[in-house]
Every structure is written in C-alpha cells, then in structure tokens.
Structure 1
Amino acid sequence: MKLAALILAAGSSSRFEDGHKLLVEINGVPIVRHVCTALEQSKIGDIVLVTASRDDAVAKAAGPGRWRLVENPRARDGLSTSLRAGLRSIDQSADGLLIALADMPGITTTPVDTLISAFEDNPGAIVFPVSTDGRRGHPIIWPRSLFAALGAVSGDTGGRSVLADHQDLWHPVTCDEPGAFTDIDTRADLETFVAADQTTRRK
C-alpha cells in the first residue's frame, strides 16, 4: 500500500503575537520540525511540506530530512490552496493521503503509525484519532476516492466539509496522546503546551 503525507505549513501565523509560531523552539527544536520529524520516523512514504511562496524561514526551520518542499504562491487565500498545492505534488496512484498540521508539535510517531495501520486494514476509510471524550484530532488519513473532493474545497477550512459529508467512511482510532488534539495558535497556547510538556517530562 502506498501512502503519502502533506504537512500544511503555509499559514501566516496571524494570531501568534510577536513572531511566527512555526519558528518557535520547544526543547531546542522549531515547532515545524517537531511535526516533520514525527512523520519522517513513521511508516509513511512520500512526505511533502507545503509552505508559503518565498517563505525561506519555515523551510530553514524544518531543516533537512525525508521530506520535500512545495511552495504555495496562493497561501493568503486560505488553507484549501495549500491542500491543492500539496495534492498536485503527490503520486495520484497513492492509496491514501495523511494530512498533518505543522502547528501541532505534540504529534509523535507512535500514534501516526497506529493510524497508518488502521488505514491499511480499512483502505477506503477516513482514519483519524479520537480522544476518550470524543474529540477528533489530527493527522487525518484520506482514501484516494476523496482526493478530488479535497481538491475542490475552497476557503480556509481544509477538509472539514469533506469530513462532514462522508461520515459513513469515518474510522476513528482511540488515542490518549494529547498532542493529537493540541495546536498552537497564540502565545497562550504555547505557554500551556510547554507547561504540560515539562510536567510530562518530569514524571
């Protein structure tokens, strides 16, 4: 089975005060690289990092690795444009596409591989993590049958509408890792994440 991955990293970070959230270091590693490394160490095949056009800072923060860079010159027009840019760059014969958000530094390889295994067992499904209290998280793995629908999305909503339209394909996977449900939008989000991360490391 062939699986590709997109890491969406072309946002403007407009809600993050005094800087770009993806460049902020946690434990000495930029947020965007945390996500790239988690996927790099997983069972996923081709990995594409989508950045805004001429955004060298995010690409440099990601650094070298088993991912390739795709620039989105229309990043200001919303998340859907990054989704399309990434979709155009992958092998269209891929059986599935994992989509990850670059502002979720708590994502780790173990739950990613669990999602991949679940998709391998359910290749026509939409596979995603779900918390014990019912919250949906990321990343999400999409079957090839929905690539066209994802490519037709507009605005800044990503695949949310496609997910809502295809609940019959949902295959949630219970996940107890908070990183699958935590993104960084503001400085307050970052402070909360770092405090929780430090507490976990002390245990």
Structure 2
Amino acid sequence: MKIGTIILAAGDSSRMGGEPKQLLTYKGQSLIRRVTENALALQRGPVVVVLGANRPRIVPELAGLPVTIVDNPSWPTGQASSLKTGLAALYITHKDIEAVLVLHTDQPLVSLGLLLHLFDVRKEEGKGIVACRYDTQLSVPALFDRDYINELLQLKDDKGVKWVIGKHRADCSEVPFEAGSIDLDSKRDVEAFQQAQMQSQ
C-alpha cells in the first residue's frame, strides 16, 4: 500500500518569540528532523515537507533525507494553504497513492509505533479516515483515504484536517493518543514539557 506523507512545517512560531519550534530539540534531535525520519521509517511512500517562514533555518535540518521540500508563500493565510501545497506536490507526482498521512512538527511524542498503529487500524476497520484522539478532539496524526484528497484541496484559511474529520465522523476510526495534547506552541509549553521530561528521567 503506497501512502504519501505531508509534514506541515510552514508556520512562523509567533508564540515562541520568533524562535522556530521546528528547531526545538527532543532527545538530541530537532522536531522537524525527528518527525521526518519517523515518516521515512514507515517506508510506505513519498514524504513531502511544507515550509514557509524560517525556511533558510529549517532546510539544513533536512539535509541528506530523501524528501520533497515545497514552499508555501501563502503560509500566513492559515493551515489550509500549507495542506493544499503539500497535496498538490504529492499528487502531481504520485497519482497512485492510496492514502495521505498528515503530520505536524510540534507533537514531540509522536512515534514510529503510533504511525504504524494508524495503518493497522485502517486495515482492520476499513474506515476512510484514521485520526488520533486527545483532549476532546480528533486530529493529527491523521490518515485519509485518497477519496478525501479533493475535499482536503478545497479547504480555506484556518480550516484544517480537523474540519474534514469532524464532517465525516461516521467514516473515522479513532486512535487514543493522550500525548498528542502535548504540542509546543509557546515558550510556556516548551518549559512545561522540558520540566516534565527532567522529572521522568
């Protein structure tokens, strides 16, 4: 089964005081390098990384990795533009993909095991969407059957994958992932996460 992966990494980390969260480190790796290597380790198909703000600083972190890097000049308009940019790059060159995996860079506890579990659930339950549940939401990491590509391409502004998931709950399998609620959006998030990691060592 050929799966295309899109890693959304175009944001400007405005709540981080200008420091790109994609370059934060966890277990000795930048978050962008970590999520990209996990996606490649799946060995299921092409991986596209969508960049925008801070591109010159982030690109070196992807050196040597067999990925397609695409630029989204419209990144300030919201997540939808980055998703569409990634889908376009993926689908133009790989029309034979059967599904699309969407990942963010700011969830440090996403593991290869979790991603493999998404594929297992898709195979077992046969739903068109497999999404992770944490807090009160269903969101990324999320896997979408190719039938949803056109709908994802029609998203606008800040409407992202959560909107499509919510619209098609009957066709969505849920994977519990409480650690997904840890996303490093602000300096306070980072400090709390680092403190928790030190206490658990």
Shared fold (TM-score, shorter chain, > 0.5)? yes
Cα distance between partner residues in 1 of 2:66 and 2:141: 18
Residues 147 and 59 from structure 1, CA distance in 2 versus in 1: closer, same or farther, beyond 3 angstroms? same
Conservation of the 8 A alpha-carbon contact between 1:22 and 1:103? yes
How many residues align? The count is 198
Cα distance between partner residues in 2 of 1:193 and 1:74: 30
Cα distance between partner residues in 2 of 1:58 and 1:8: 12
- Unaligned runs of 5+ residues in structure 1 are none
* CA deviation profile, 1:60-84 (whole Å, cap 9, x unmatched): 1233323221111211221111111
Q: Which residue of 1 aligns with 2:101?
A: 98
- Which portions of structure 1, spanning 4 or more consecutive aligned residues, are displaced by more than 4 angstroms? none
Corresponding letter in the other structure for 1:71:
D
Q: Which residue of 2 aligns with 1:145?
A: 147
Between 1:11-20 and 1:58-67, the stretch displaced more is 58-67
Residues 66 and 182 from structure 1, CA distance in 2 versus in 1: closer, same or farther, beyond 3 angstroms? farther
Kindly indicate whether residue 52 of structure 2 is the aligned counterpart of residue 52 of structure 1.
Answer: yes
Conservation of the 8 A alpha-carbon contact between 1:80 and 1:154? yes
Cα distance between partner residues in 1 of 2:24 and 2:150: 34
Provide the secondary structure at the position in 2 that maps to 1:138: strand
Residues 19 and 7 from structure 1, CA distance in 2 versus in 1: closer, same or farther, beyond 3 angstroms? same
Q: Which residue of 1 aligns with 2:171?
A: 169
Query: More helix per residue: 1 or 2?
Result: 2
Alignment of 1:64-75 (within 5 A): 64-75=64-75
Conservation of the 8 A alpha-carbon contact between 1:53 and 1:71? no
Shift of 1:122: 4.1
Q: Which residue of 1 aligns with 2:189?
A: 189
Residues 26 and 69 from structure 1, CA distance in 2 versus in 1: closer, same or farther, beyond 3 angstroms? same
Cα distance between partner residues in 2 of 1:83 and 1:175: 22
Q: Percent identity?
A: 24
TM-score, with length taken from structure 2: 0.88
Cα distance between partner residues in 1 of 2:185 and 2:80: 18
Cα distance between partner residues in 2 of 1:191 and 1:104: 14
